[in-house]
Amino acid sequence: MTVNDISAKHSLALAQRQSDALLNRCSYKGRFAPSPTGPLHFGSLITAVASYCDAKAHNGQWIVRIEDTDIPRIYPNSEQHILQCLEAFEFESDVEIIYQRQRLDIYESVIEQLQHKKLVYACECTRKMLGSNHIYAGTCREKHLDFQDQAIRVKVDDQLICFEDRLQGQHCSNLQHDLGDFVLKRRDGIINYQLAVVVDDYLQGMTHVVRGADLLDNTERQIWLGQCLSYPPLEYMHLPLAMNEQGQKLSKQNLAQAIDPQHAPELLLQAITALGQAPVDLDQPNQMLAQASAQWDISRIPKGTEIPAIYK
């Protein structure tokens, strides 16, 4: 790959990654990567606490990244609420927070890279044409359509992709059977989460991913994309999801209540307890986080993919 192949921003980010790797700065780098598609809720707080404590328990770095490529889904003021909560809970990112919507040219240049490798193609199928079929049949694979104003899909293979999740055990998928070639860029130009997450995890030198079990089924897609781009593999830990009293996972779709930054210590204690960890003293949030990190024990995290309701 030559510098001409990639955008200036991308080559800068690659150089930074390479110098970090040479200096061997950190053997653990983890992240908290909220999307501002709604205010932070208790489920997101659990992810923030677990990713933070796991990183600090490994003497690692913990980095915040705002995943805001899906511009039409950005919810008014939610980014502000996320930042306000991070401050109130005294979560400090070890490097400057990055915003994915400012990095669109990087993702575009990675699509070009994949295009050179003939691993992506343009697809003109509309949602209507695809109907209720969730497995894409590869209709446009051999059409060789121009990339302009079309969706871009990555080719997948008929092979089983497996990984060993630190909590959920082995998880596998045959992407061709389960999903088909998947979209990296939508026809309206929006970069898909799957691409942005893989590229930034690589460029930021992440080693560990700690996130909710709702993203478990996305992981094989991300591993596949990482393999297409010759990125090193990551370690994954998918946390059980906090449920509401109706047995639904707390989510923006279920209108989960926004967390109140004014009650940071109490909410932190609830999140630490929901993660099955030894209790910590009610204190300043950074003291509580330090104590929780020192006591962090993943064998205490509830098994399975759900944590029963403790908070609406």
Residue type, 154: V
CA distance 255 to 237: 25
Taking the C-alpha atoms of residue 113 and residue 96, their distance in angstroms, rounded to an integer, is: 27
Closest of 37, 35, 31, 48 to residue 85, by C-alpha:
48
Q: Is 136 annotated as a binding residue?
A: yes
Separation between Cα atoms, residue 183 and residue 134, nearest integer Å: 12
Give the C-alpha separation, 312 to 256, whole Å: 7
Taking alpha carbons only, the member of 166, 168, 152, 154 closest to residue 222 is 154
**Region from 30-38, 69-77, 148-156, 288-296 binding ligand GLU, contact rule CB under 6 A:** 30-38
Per CB under 6 A, 215 contacts ligand GLU = yes
Q: Is 208 in the site for ligand GLU (CB under 6 A)?
A: no
35 binds ligand GLU (CB under 6 A): yes
Taking the complex as a whole, how short is the minimal distance between the CB of residue 286 and ligand GLU, in angstroms? 23
- Residues 209, 212: Cα–Cα separation, whole Å: 10
From 7, 30, 34, 203, residue interacting with ligand GLU (rule: CB under 6 A): 34
Tell me: is residue 125 an annotated ligand-binding position: yes
Closest by CA position to 289, among listed 96, 89, 98 = 89
Identified binder of ligand GLU from the candidate list 81, 155, 211, 238, rule CB under 6 A: 211
What residues between 175 and 204 interact with ligand GLU by CB under 6 A? 197
Nearer to ligand GLU, 103 or 123 (CB): 103
**Residue 222: CB minimum distance to ligand GLU, A:** 8
Q: Pick the closer one to ligand GLU by CB: 253 or 284.
A: 253
Task: Establish whether 155 is an annotated binding residue.
Answer: no
211 labeled binding residue:
yes
* Choice between 93 and 287, CB closer to ligand GLU: 93
Cα dist from 201 to 26, 31, 71, 209, 275, whole Å:
14, 9, 20, 9, 25
Q: Confirm or deny that 123 is annotated as ligand binding.
A: yes
Beta carbon nearer to ligand GLU, 185 or 211:
211
- Whether residue 31 is annotated as binding a ligand: the answer is yes
Least separation in angstroms between residue 279's CB and ligand GLU is 27
* Binding to ligand GLU, residues 93-152 (CB under 6 A): none
Q: Which residue has the tokens 């909410």?
A: 267
- 237 near 165, Cβ under 8 Å? yes
Residues in contact with ligand GLU by CB under 6 A are 33-35, 67, 197, 211, 215
